């Protein structure tokens, strides 16, 4: 019995001595850093750990738990655990997936635009995308100091932030300049005005010029049929290789009033009457007239302007203010100004080379 007791005591002493000596040499160490940051989309490399005892390499006994999804921003914890004899050790590593890439804003149309004083600015549009958030177009903030009633250089700023607060900003430049007017044999006579409380139709066609006016409260907006025809015209122009952007569409009586007065302030009444309609006398108030292409008196000599002149009637439009007909229309030649009258009427006017006034016999 005494012998067994002695043996038990010796075994206990040896065991304790073994663990006292062995345990300090049982180590678990991280390879590389404890906290690692990875950019979204990059690959994750598992560096692992070193596990050793005094006598053995324990790497194969290490259990690794936790997964890293490099396609999702966030923090991930990886656990490393190894058991040796009666002791277990654990270590942890934190992997943070971040997005540091800025979103991208793409502007439709030109980034440098020129307008004349009083012209309407039509937003050409934009798109925003991000490597992580994908489509951010509806998150774009547009800020502008544009004032088309004054000559000057202006900017339209487009900015957007993604979900990681990465920021992008792009700018469209707008130059507003005065019109240079070449006064020809243009009628500026408003003395024989036909006043009416309602729009005037002749042979079913709405007529607005220096003689026939619209009521100040006439405010129909853009005509749907004319808008659809314009869209078809623009698509056909694009297929032919020409850009035909909308520069100005419907204008209310009040808008035309502000516009006309601004021209008068610059050029005086007599000259302004050669290129700008007085409020109530503007075709833009009908919702049937559009300025397209380019506001340049030389536009008709360009390939795009020539295409418009030769094909507008196919979509129901006429070039409203023809060259050489200034004394009839009352306005300077405007190769960019088109008026919707329907394909049949437009084709007849085009083939005869006449104005709307001549067609209606007024």
| Domain membership flag for residue 194 | no
User: CA–CA separation, 282 vs 362, rounded Å?
Assistant: 17
Residue 182 lies in a domain: no
User: Any idea what the CATH number is for the domain that residue 312 is in?
Assistant: 3.30.1380.10
Q: Residue 188 falls within a domain, yes or no?
A: no
pLDDT tens-place string over residues 267-281: 899 998 989 999 999
Residues 153 and 268 in one domain: no
Q: Which of 82, 98, 114 is the last residue of a domain?
A: 98
Please tell me whether residues 215 and 303 are part of one structural domain. yes
pLDDT digits (tens, 9 = 90+) for 101-112: 999 999 998 899
Domain coverage including residue 166:
104-177
Together in a domain, 140 and 254: no
CATH code of the domain containing 116: 2.60.40.10
Residue 187 lies in a domain: no
pLDDT for 260-317, tens place per residue? 999 989 889 999 898 999 999 999 999 999 999 999 999 999 999 999 999 999 999 9
User: 245 with 282, same domain?
Assistant: yes
Banded pLDDT at 1 (limits 50, 70, 90): low
Q: Which of 142, 162, 177 is the last residue of a domain?
A: 177
Interval 132-152 mean pLDDT:
93
Q: Mapped to the 3 state alphabet, what secondary structure does the chain carry?
A: CHHHHHHHHHHHHHHHHHHHHHHHHCEEEECCCCEEEEECCCCCCCCCEEEECCCCECHHHCEEECCCCCCCCEEEEEEEEEEECCEEEEEEEEEEEECCCCCEEEECCCCEEEEECCCCCCCCCEEEEECCCEECHHHCEEEECCCCCCCEEEEEEEEEECCCCCEEEEEEEEEEECCCCCCCCCCCCCCCCECCCCCCEECCEECCCCCECCCCCCCCCCCHHHHHHHHHHHHHHHHCCCCCCEEECCCCHHHHHHHHHHHHHHHCHHHHCCCCCCCCCCHHHHCCEEEECCCCCCHHHCHHHHHHHHHHHHHCEEEEECCCCHHHHCCCCEEEEEEECCHHHHHHHHHHCCCHHHHHCC
Residue 155 has pLDDT above 70, yes or no: yes
59, 79, 98: which is the final residue of a domain?
98
Are 144 and 208 members of one domain? no
Q: In terms of domains, do 310 and 213 share one?
A: yes
For residue range 157-203, list pLDDT tens digits in order: 999 999 999 999 999 999 998 765 554 566 666 666 665 678 999 99
189 assigned to some structural domain: no
Count: domains in the chain: 3
């Amino acid at each position: 019995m005494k012998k067994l007791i002695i043996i038990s005591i010796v075994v206990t002493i040896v065991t304790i001595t073994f663990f006292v000596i062995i345990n300090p040499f049982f180590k678990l160490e991280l390879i590389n850093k404890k906290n690692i940051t990875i950019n979204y989309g990059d690959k994750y490399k598992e560096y692992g750990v070193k596990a050793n005892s005094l006598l053995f390499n324990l790497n194969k006994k290490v259990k690794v738990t936790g997964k890293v999804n490099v396609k999702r921003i966030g923090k991930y914890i990886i656990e490393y655990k190894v058991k040796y004899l009666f002791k277990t050790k654990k270590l942890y590593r934190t992997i943070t997936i971040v997005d540091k890439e800025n979103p991208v804003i793409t502007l439709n149309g030109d980034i440098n635009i020129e307008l004349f004083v009083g012209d309407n600015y039509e937003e050409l549009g934009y798109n925003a995308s991000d490597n992580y958030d994908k489509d951010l177009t509806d998150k774009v903030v547009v800020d502008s100091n544009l004032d088309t009633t004054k000559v000057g250089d202006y900017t339209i700023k487009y900015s957007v932030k993604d979900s990681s607060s990465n920021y992008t900003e792009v700018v469209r430049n707008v130059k507003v300049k005065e019109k240079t007017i070449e006064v020809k044999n243009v009628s500026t006579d408003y003395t024989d005005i036909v006043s009416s409380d309602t729009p005037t139709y002749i042979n079913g066609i709405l007529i607005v010029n220096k003689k026939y006016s619209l009521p100040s409260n006439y405010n129909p907006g853009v005509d749907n049929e004319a808008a659809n025809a314009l869209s078809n015209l623009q698509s056909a122009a694009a297929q032919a290789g020409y850009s035909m952007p909308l520069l100005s569409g419907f204008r209310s009586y009040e808008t035309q009033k502000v516009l006309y007065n601004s021209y008068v302030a610059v050029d005086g009444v007599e000259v302004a009457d050669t290129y700008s309609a007085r409020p109530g006398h503007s075709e833009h108030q009908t919702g049937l007239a559009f300025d397209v292409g380019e506001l340049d008196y030389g536009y008709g000599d360009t390939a795009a302007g020539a295409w418009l002149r030769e094909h507008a009637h196919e979509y129901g439009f006429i070039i409203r203010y023809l060259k050489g007909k200034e004394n009839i229309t009352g306005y300077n030649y405007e190769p960019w100004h088109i008026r919707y009258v329907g394909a049949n009427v437009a084709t007849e006017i085009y083939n005869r080379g006449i104005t709307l006034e001549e067609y209606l016999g007024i």
